[in-house]
Structure 1
Amino acid sequence: MTQTHESGPAPTTTAPGAPGTPAPFAPPSPPLAGPRPLGEHRVWPRTFHDRLTAPLPGLRATARFAREGAVRPGPDGLADLPRLPYEPAPLPRVGTRTLAVTWAGHASWVVRIGGLTVLTDPVWSRRILGTPARITPVGVPWDSLPRVDAVVISHNHYDHLDAPTLRRLPRHTPVFVPAGLGRWFHRRRFTRVTELDWWEGAELSGVRFDFVPAHHWSKRTLTDTCHSLWGGWVLTDAEGQRLYFAGDTGYGHWFSRIGRRYPGIDLALMPVGAYDPRWWLSDVHCDPEEAVRATRDLGARRMAPMHWGTFVLSAEPVLEPLTRSRAAWQQAGLDRENLWDLPVGASRVLD
């Protein structure tokens, strides 16, 4: 297999000023590769350990985590459960030139772009393996969805790849997945599965789907650590409107590289939760301040926080990701209207 990821150390420069400002002294970015064929059969390496941007926790760190037991918020951190924003509403009517997003909860979005309806990391289940039941209901009833034209998956963790939800889809639904994850879908008889490496793209009905790096990892069973890739997605329609879906990621140098290769991102869907304790999670999950910083590195005009307020995955208070995101956005001097801090179930349309 030809490796398409960029190698070597990279500076972690942060773009100063408002979103859209490029990082200083940024090297030129390679041009986009031509689109890969949809459903192409490909052979991948057995492991993607070489793509890790930080070592996975060893026995000593795992023992410390088990000893400290800081997995869930305490009673004070759960006190705001009744205040979690939940405002389900009908999906907006959109045209083929409209970009609109609806937050179903966690990393699940209903994205309307280029006339397509795209689901990101769809999880409509009440419970996922290893965590308590969701603390806010799904924001979009499954029966109210329009025809789903495509699905994008960021990686194979259970809170992003949910088999019961995906079983609800017709098996001919186009699915875009990281390298090495196609066999999971083929075993479930999906027939239009496109696997991509970092910096590769494919096109569907005039919309381009590009898979980009993230600071994360993959694992679904005891024996498949990093056997499939992980990353985010950049969706671009024929009008040039561009959305970035980060999936799950820590902060690091990839964001400025993504911004250079895909300039003019209109909206970044950024994870802001599941970050405490920092010593355990900083390599793989952004905190709210890092998510704002990453949005600036991307040159994105707007940010929509996600990956919070749905499942209790870590120890921070349940409402803290929202309050810290708002504070970080204000401290950065960014336009309040460009922070799309949606309640679960709410939508925004890009005019």
Structure 2
Amino acid sequence: MTEQHEDTGSPRPTAPPSPAAKPRGRPRSFADRLTEPLPGTGAVLRAGLTGRFRPRGEDVRAQVPRLPVEPGPLPEAGPRTVAVTWAGHASWVVSIAGLTVLTDPVWSRRILGTPERVTPVGVAWEALPPVDAVVISHNHYDHLDAATLARLPRDTPLFVPAGLARWCARRRFTRVTELDWWEGAEIPAPGGGNVRLDFVPAHHWSRRGLLDTCRSLWGGWMLTAPDGRRIHFAGDTGYGHWFAEIGRRYPGIDLALLPIGAYAPRALLRPVHTDPPEAVRACRDLGAARMAPMHWATFLLSSEPPLEPLIRVREEWAADGRPAEDLWTLPVGGSRALP
């Protein structure tokens, strides 16, 4: 059902995920996977007390009304379609080979420990087709939203990082596949063949309560259609060596969904959140043909002005010599399909 993926060729065939896939032996902690030590409590508290985790009020008032929001109809989900729709933050509706896959679905207006979202969800829940799979990058509240998942049928296939299967089982989900880095699974596509879901590394961390730091893993996902077209969903991540390694193991990535926001102050957030220059560099390391920015314009989690990530990523993309048409700066609710 799951396997290690070590080569750089086509994914090996595996069986579709079975109901309630049980995790194999997992470590109690994944702290050894951290790229860098996490900031100390004192540094975080000092940043919070000085207001360094929020943009200036005048920037919010001036720029939030200008954030791009253009909800539109979802692309038709045909057997040869590979398309993405940005619902906001790290939530995407991915149409791939006739299947609908949600990434880190957060349809809530407010979540624990996070300011209220400043833009609406780009896709109405009622407009979603039946969901064939959900992939989760890690357990932070702005990526793993219990209220949103509760709206799904309990037999919806969930693909989660190592250490999260028990959390899903407590919420009565019956088809949970828990994966470590470089492990993958496949689900059958309506038009034949399988869509492959591989869990890949990221530079981040996990915590949901006071006593569970790094008790579950974090990462991104590689979605591969039966015809070989690939989408990399980075989840939440800082910049580092894993992008080049992912690109080596999974050549020919057609689209990288990469975070560009929540990066200031850099002294605290650099290890776990890419800024726009780092996101563009990560796209090049991956060898991805296109990039679609995410993780901005939804929740104001840090101190950069709300529109700054968009301005900077366009500047960095141009400075890197990449064609403008290969940077998909979608509005919230916007869609685009791969050729």
**TM-score normalized with structure 2 length:** 0.93
- CA displacement, residues 115-167 of structure 1 (integer Å, 9 cap, x when unaligned): 11000000000001112211000000000000100000000000000000000
1:165 equivalent to 2:153? Answer no
Answer yes or no: is the 8 Å Cα contact 2:16–2:187 preserved in 1.
Answer: no
Partner of 2:97: 114
Alignment partner of 1:328: what SS?
A: helix
Partner of 1:151: 134
1:77 equivalent to 2:77? Answer no
Answer yes or no: is the 8 Å Cα contact 1:96–1:115 preserved in 2.
Answer: yes
Partner of 1:174: 157
Answer yes or no: is the 8 Å Cα contact 2:21–2:175 preserved in 1.
Answer: no
Shift of 1:59: 3.8
Partner of 2:22: 41
- Partners of 2:15 and 2:49 lie apart in 1 by 47
1:145 and 1:29, CA in 2 relative to 1: closer, same or farther beyond 3 A?
closer
- CA displacement, residues 255-303 of structure 1 (integer Å, 9 cap, x when unaligned): 0000000000000000000000000100000001100000000000000
- CA displacement, residues 298-322 of structure 1 (integer Å, 9 cap, x when unaligned): 0000000000000010000000010
Partner of 2:293: 305
Partner of 1:260: 248
Taking only the aligned residue pairs, the percentage that are identical comes to 68
Answer yes or no: is the 8 Å Cα contact 2:5–2:184 preserved in 1.
Answer: no
Matched positions, count? 328
Partner of 1:221: 209
Shift of 1:4: 6.9
1:54 equivalent to 2:42? Answer no
- Partners of 1:102 and 1:31 lie apart in 2 by 26
Partner of 1:342: 330
**TM-score normalized with structure 1 length:** 0.90
Aligned letter for 2:261? G
- Partners of 2:302 and 2:11 lie apart in 1 by 37
Alignment partner of 1:122: what SS?
A: coil
Shift of 1:69: 2.7
Partner of 1:184: 167
Shift of 1:76: 3.2
Answer yes or no: is the 8 Å Cα contact 2:114–2:142 preserved in 1.
Answer: no
Shift of 1:30: 9.5
Aligned letter for 1:85? P
- Partners of 1:5 and 1:147 lie apart in 2 by 29
Segments of 5+ residues of structure 2 without an aligned counterpart are 189-193
- Partners of 1:336 and 1:71 lie apart in 2 by 31
Equivalences for residues 198-217 of structure 1 within 5 A: 198-205=181-188, 206-217=194-205
1:36 and 1:297, CA in 2 relative to 1: closer, same or farther beyond 3 A?
farther
Answer yes or no: is the 8 Å Cα contact 2:5–2:183 preserved in 1.
Answer: no
Aligned letter for 2:36? A
Segments of 5+ residues of structure 1 without an aligned counterpart are 7-27
- CA displacement, residues 22-59 of structure 1 (integer Å, 9 cap, x when unaligned): xxxxxx86996774772431231111111111101124
Aligned letter for 2:250? Y
Answer yes or no: is the 8 Å Cα contact 1:34–1:201 preserved in 2.
Answer: no
Partner of 2:191: none
Aligned letter for 1:161? L
